[in-house]
């Protein structure tokens, strides 16, 4: 069984989608939530979104909460949610990023305040 750290660092799209599956959501809701939470900076087009969802399912980070996925079917009809492993991976990635930010903030000349002046 994979440890959460084995999947780090997360791909940027994975990191955008995983938090949106903390509760059952369908693809359109995930797309809209990512768009809203990023202030319109990240738009997941259908092919990108559903490819990402498929890879997250394959990695056991999310699951279809509507029932078993058909071999070939329209993934837009399903709701998705985090698995236990997905929650652990997301928490580990958040901690990794917090640690990285903390290190950067301790470097002279790299803080946001100093860069703006």
Write the CATH number for 92: 1.10.10.10
**In angstroms, rounded to a whole number, what is the distance separating the alpha carbons of residues 3 and 114?**
38
pTM of the model: 0.82
The answer to the question of residue 61 being in a domain is yes
Q: What is the pLDDT along the chain (117 residues), one digit of tens a residue?
A: 678 999 999 999 999 999 999 999 999 999 999 999 999 999 999 999 999 999 999 999 999 887 655 555 555 578 999 999 999 999 999 999 999 999 998 988 766 555 565
Q: Which domain holds residue 20?
A: 9-116
The answer to the question of residue 64 being in a domain is yes
The answer to the question of residue 4 being in a domain is no
Q: Say what the pLDDT of residue 109 is.
A: 77
The answer to the question of residue 58 being in a domain is yes
The answer to the question of residue 28 being in a domain is yes
Residue pair 41/20 in contact by the 8 Å Cβ criterion = no
Q: Say what the pLDDT of residue 82 is.
A: 97
Task: Count up the domains in the chain and report the number.
Answer: 1
Q: Say what the pLDDT of residue 65 is.
A: 85
Name the maximum alpha-carbon separation found in the chain: 56
The answer to the question of residue 43 being in a domain is yes
Q: What's the Cα-to-Cα distance from 103 to each of 42, 70, 108, 114, rounded to whole Å?
A: 26, 45, 11, 15
The answer to the question of residue 41 being in a domain is yes
Which distant-in-sequence residues (6+ apart) come within 8 Å of 51 by Cβ? Answer: none
């Amino acid at each position: 069984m994979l440890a959460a750290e084995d999947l780090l660092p997360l791909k940027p799209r994975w990191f955008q989608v995983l938090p949106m599956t903390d509760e059952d959501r369908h693809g359109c809701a995930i797309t809209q939530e990512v768009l809203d939470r990023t202030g319109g900076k990240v738009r997941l087009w259908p092919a990108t979104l559903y490819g990402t969802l498929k890879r997250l399912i394959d990695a056991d980070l999310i699951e279809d909460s509507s029932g078993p996925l058909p071999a070939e079917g329209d993934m837009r009809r399903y709701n998705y949610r985090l698995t236990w492993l997905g929650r652990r991976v997301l928490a580990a990635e958040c901690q990794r990023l917090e640690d990285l930010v903390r290190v950067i903030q301790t470097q002279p000349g790299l803080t946001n305040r100093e860069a703006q002046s």
